[in-house]
């Protein structure tokens, strides 16, 4: 709860800083998703994201943004040995998608590029909260196998997660009130997207015996490249 409280406090600070105007816009691009499954690195998943944002004006900026991000990982060219027959088999390519809505609040520091000062470079740091809307995990569930021996499954997906957004980018003006941006971010989760505790006496259909399953954990991290449009809203006070 403390982490969510921090998000609301930062939102309040951002709102007070927008009295002289603000910038808002839309952006989106490519997401490269990575996951750690019980310390085993999966292969990357290539998907997409879309974001709307608002921020204060100036070189020291507070921002808020809401987005939709498809995260996850993939398995490609995976081979295995059947523990009973000893035969070698392969698993068709699979991708594991977690479709998340996010809210990120943070700060940017901007610097002029060149002597004109129209284009800017910036770096950014934010705290991110996420909600998992749905997944595609049911595509890989086998009704002939006990759910405790097949993973991941929707039953153990953690819907609420949090993490950080770290990165930087460039802003380019197209006119007096509109510009473009190019942004690069890395987005590590500080919580687990998936957690399944250990269980005793679980029937294993591969060996025909009961065994104890281990904890099963999945953590997300993404790399994102983003393009967008930025619009200025300037507030002028008239006596």
How long is the chain? 239
pLDDT at residue number 93: 80
pLDDT at residue number 13: 52
What whole-number distance in Å separates Cα of residue 151 and Cα of residue 26?
A: 36
Show the 3-state SS of 100-128: EEEEEEEEEEEEEECCCCCEEEEEEEEEE
pTM, two decimal places: 0.81
- Residue 221's closest CA among 158, 161, 169? 161
Q: Which residues pair with 79 in a beta bridge?
A: 90
- The answer to whether 234 touches 21, Cβ cutoff 8 Å, is yes
pLDDT at residue number 200: 74
Question: Considering only the top CATH level, what class is 2-234?
Answer: mainly beta
Every domain of the chain and the residues it spans: 2-234
C-alpha distances (whole Å) from 165 to each of 58, 65, 98, 106, 198 are 21, 11, 18, 9, 31
In order along the chain (239 residues), what is the average pLDDT of each group of 10 residues? Answer: 50 53 95 90 94 95 97 81 62 89 98 82 98 94 67 91 98 93 98 89 67 84 98 66
pLDDT at residue number 234: 63
């Amino acid at each position: 709860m403390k982490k969510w409280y921090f998000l609301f406090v930062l939102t309040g600070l951002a709102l007070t800083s927008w009295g002289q105007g603000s910038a808002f816009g839309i952006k989106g691009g490519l997401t490269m998703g990575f996951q750690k499954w019980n310390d085993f690195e999966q292969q990357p998943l290539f998907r997409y994201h879309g974001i709307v944002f608002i921020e204060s004006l100036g070189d020291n900026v507070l921002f808020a943004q809401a987005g939709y991000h498809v995260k996850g990982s993939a398995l490609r060219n995976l081979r295995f040995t059947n523990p009973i027959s000893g035969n070698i088999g392969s698993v068709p390519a699979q991708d594991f998608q977690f479709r998340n809505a996010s809210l990120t609040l943070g700060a940017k520091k901007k610097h002029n590029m060149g002597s004109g000062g129209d284009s800017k470079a910036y770096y950014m740091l934010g705290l991110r909260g996420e909600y998992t809307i749905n997944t595609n995990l049911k595509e890989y569930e086998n009704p002939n196998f006990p759910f405790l021996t097949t993973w991941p499954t929707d039953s153990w997906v953690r819907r609420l997660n949090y993490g950080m957004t770290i990165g930087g980018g460039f802003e380019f003006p197209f006119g007096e009130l509109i510009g473009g941006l190019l942004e690069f971010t890395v987005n590590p989760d500080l919580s687990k997207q998936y957690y399944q505790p250990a269980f005793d006496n679980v029937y294993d259909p591969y060996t025909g015996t009961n065994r104890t399953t281990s904890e099963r954990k999945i953590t997300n991290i993404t790399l994102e490249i983003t393009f967008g449009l930025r619009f200025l809203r300037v507030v002028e006070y008239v006596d």
